[in-house]
């Protein structure tokens, strides 16, 4: 089974805020969906896997990301003021929890177009609240 690839993302900060590139240029041609998610403190997103699509998620910390690999769950904590990029192959469950005290953002891309009538996701609870 393929594993999740975790990369740190270079963040540029100044008095105006932060800027980072959520996806590399060589990955853009393969994407069929892009979405931005804001989520409140304590909230969990995901808790699913994609049957066909590979998903790239860029998570701004503080957050906890859980991935199920080889029947065990791995937890990755994204520190405050850092950004990590996760490349998640099909059939790998994942969940993201905002562990901070403010609303935070994640940016996601998928190689499969989103279809509300026939979603590519299957629920798998990794993080409960």
Tell me the pLDDT tens digit for each residue of 37-62. Answer: 999 999 999 999 999 999 999 999 99
DSSP state of 52: S
Q: Does 128 reside within a domain?
A: no
Q: What is residue 129's predicted lDDT score, i.e. its pLDDT? A: 86
Question: CA 90 to CA 75: how far, in whole Å?
Answer: 18
Placement of tokens 């993302």 in the chain: 9
pTM: predicted TM-score of the whole model, two decimal places: 0.94
Token pair of 82, please? 């850092």
Q: What number of other Cβ atoms are within 10 A of residue 86's Cβ?
A: 22
Q: Does 129 reside within a domain?
A: no
CATH for 59? 2.60.120.10
Domain count, the chain: 1
Q: Does 55 reside within a domain?
A: yes
What is the rounded average pLDDT for all residues in the chain?
A: 95
Q: What is residue 1's predicted lDDT score, i.e. its pLDDT? A: 63
Question: CA 99 to CA 80: how far, in whole Å?
Answer: 9
Question: CA 47 to CA 94: how far, in whole Å?
Answer: 6
| 38: containing domain | 5-123
Q: Does 70 reside within a domain?
A: yes
């Amino acid at each position: 089974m393929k594993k999740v690839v975790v990369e740190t993302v270079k963040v540029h900060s100044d008095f105006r805020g932060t800027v980072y590139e959520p996806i590399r240029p060589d990955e853009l041609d393969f994407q069929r969906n892009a979405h931005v998610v804001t989520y409140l403190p304590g909230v969990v997103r995901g808790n699913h896997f994609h049957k066909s699509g590979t998903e790239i998620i860029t998570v701004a910390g503080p957050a906890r990301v859980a991935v199920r690999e080889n029947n065990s769950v791995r937890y990755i904590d994204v520190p405050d003021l850092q950004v990590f990029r996760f490349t998640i192959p099909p059939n790998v469950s994942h969940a993201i929890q905002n562990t901070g005290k403010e609303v935070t953002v994640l940016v996601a891309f998928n190689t499969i177009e989103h279809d509300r009538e026939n979603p590519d996701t299957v629920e798998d609870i990794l993080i409960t609240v």
